[in-house]
């Protein structure tokens, strides 16, 4: 048995980066800051999120820098060869399956009960 599930709630670090492909697919990349409690202060951990198709379109339409969102997805690693050294590099990415827009309109998030499962 294997399990690869990531659940996060945090604030978006920048406006969505949306790409449209000739195949009709849509891809969105976001960064998400999630506060980690420590003895001295709250320090955010930053995660790179990758959303596809309908979920990506929802993020592009409703998510902005500072929005409070919740996500559920899986962890994957992007790998590439470093141009200078030729060494293999990797970076963790959270592949989002479910997006929840949290917060209230009062927060300026335009939030509410929107969910990628409802579209």
Over residues 85-117, the pLDDT tens digits come to 889 999 999 999 999 999 755 555 444 545 555
* CB 56 within 8 Å of CB 49: no
Over residues 5-60, the pLDDT tens digits come to 999 999 999 999 999 999 999 999 999 999 887 766 778 999 999 999 999 999 99
Facing residues of 71 across strands? Answer: 8, 99
29 vs 26: CA distance, rounded Å: 10
Q: Are strands 6-12 and 68-81 parallel, antiparallel or unpaired?
A: antiparallel
Q: Which CATH code, of 2.60.40.1080, 2.130.10.10, 3.40.50.2000, 2.40.50.140, is assigned to 6-112?
A: 2.40.50.140
83 or 54, greater pLDDT: 54
89 vs 72: CA distance, rounded Å: 25
**Structure tokens of 3?**
């399990």
pLDDT at 118: 47
């Amino acid at each position: 048995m294997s399990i690869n599930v990531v659940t996060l709630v945090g604030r978006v670090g920048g406006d969505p980066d949306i790409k449209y492909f000739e195949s009709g697919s849509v891809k969105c990349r976001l960064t998400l800051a999630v506060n980690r409690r420590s003895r001295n202060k709250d320090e955010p951990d930053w995660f790179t999120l990758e959303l596809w198709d309908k979920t990506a379109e929802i993020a592009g339409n409703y998510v902005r820098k500072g929005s409070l969102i919740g996500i559920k997805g899986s962890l994957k690693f992007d790998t590439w060869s470093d141009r200078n050294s030729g060494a293999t590099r990797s970076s963790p990415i959270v592949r989002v399956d479910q997006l929840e827009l949290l917060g209230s309109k009062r927060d300026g998030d335009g939030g509410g009960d929107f969910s990628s499962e409802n579209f």
